[in-house]
Amino acid sequence: MRRFVAKRYCQHQVPESLQAHLSEPTICPSCQLQRFIKDIRDTQKGIDRRGGIFASRERVREEANVGFDGEIGTQAKRHRAWMRLWRQTKIKVVELVSQLEDIIKTWTHDEEVLGIEMVKEGLKLWREVEEEMAIVPGSVQPNSEYADVITTCITEGTIVPQEIAITLIKNAMKHAMDQNSVTMFLINGKKTGRMGQVPGVVKSRVEAATIGSSGSHRLGLLELGCEVIRGSTFQTIPKDLDPFVNATYNPVIPKTHLSHPKRAALKSQ
């Protein structure tokens, strides 16, 4: 039996020359993006109602501790459904934005594609909300009632032992993988790892960054093997993975982590 799928339309007339470049040729770029933006916002709100990604996952663990004789529990099904919806929606919007960017790149004045202004308007609309769309449900945001993720601020001049800094890198990797994001690890400006591959030898400078569509969200810049972390850095990692957060989840670095062994020895002399 042949399945009939109704075409979607918008009230804007999409030129035929532009339709040939779009996966949904009967909908203009702006209307397609507006639909995806609404879907992402609805998904973010839905996950936030569960307390955020990490609180949602904690519900799954708590349910698993009760035991279901091998069956998938209700919380696990809900968590997976929300994660799947979030991933699928973001993948769709990334694919569309890539299509639009390719149209701009290949477009020339000699071979003008009618409707190029539609493409530019769509990309402009996306750039205006891109940072909002990148928000991880449950992460700490200004004026947010959710605090599923603790943000630990480490300023220049803070002394962090190498083993603690390495732990931060591992936690940043784990957090980025939980977000289904791509993590790049740079040592002295050279790419050494992707999607959580730890370099075999950790050298002096390691930068962990989440490369999204804008490539701007940074998880940290650490100077390993040295006394000082250079520059203002931050980490956004789950409470249960943060080595700097104490039992009350107060994001304060314990003094034991601030004392460098060599400097402590000098002071004691």
Distance (Å, rounded) from C-alpha 228 to C-alpha 59? 38
Q: Mention every residue, 6+ apart, whose C-beta is less than 8 A from residue 114.
A: 15, 16, 17, 18
| β-strand partners of 207 | 186, 221
pLDDT score, position 7: 55
| 194 & 122 share domain | no
142 in a structural domain? no
* Residue carrying the six token digits 């020895």: 265
Query: According to the model, what pLDDT value does residue 157 have?
Result: 40
Number of domains in the chain: 2
Looking at the fold, whether 167 and 117 belong to one and the same domain comes out as no
Per-residue pLDDT at 268:
41
Q: CB of 228 within 8 A of CB of 159?
A: yes
Going residue by residue through the chain (269 aa), what tens digit of pLDDT does each one get?
Answer: 444 434 567 888 888 878 888 888 888 999 999 999 999 999 888 888 888 777 777 777 777 776 655 556 788 888 888 888 888 888 888 889 888 988 888 776 555 666 788 888 999 999 888 888 877 776 644 444 433 333 333 333 444 444 544 555 555 545 544 444 333 333 223 333 332 333 332 232 333 333 232 332 333 333 332 222 222 233 333 333 333 322 222 222 333 333 333 333 334 44
Whole-number pLDDT of residue 178: 47
Domain residue limits at 119: 16-133
Do the domain assignments include residue 140? Answer: no
**Confidence at residue 124, expressed as pLDDT on a 0 to 100 scale:** 92
User: pLDDT at position 4, please?
Assistant: 40
Residue 171 to residue 255: CA distance in whole angstroms: 20
The confidence score (pLDDT) of residue 46 equals 87
Let me know whether 115 and 160 are in one domain: no
- From CA 50, how far away is CA 109, in angstroms rounded? 50
Crossing angle (nearest 10°) for helices 74-106 and 116-133: 140
141 part of a folded domain: no
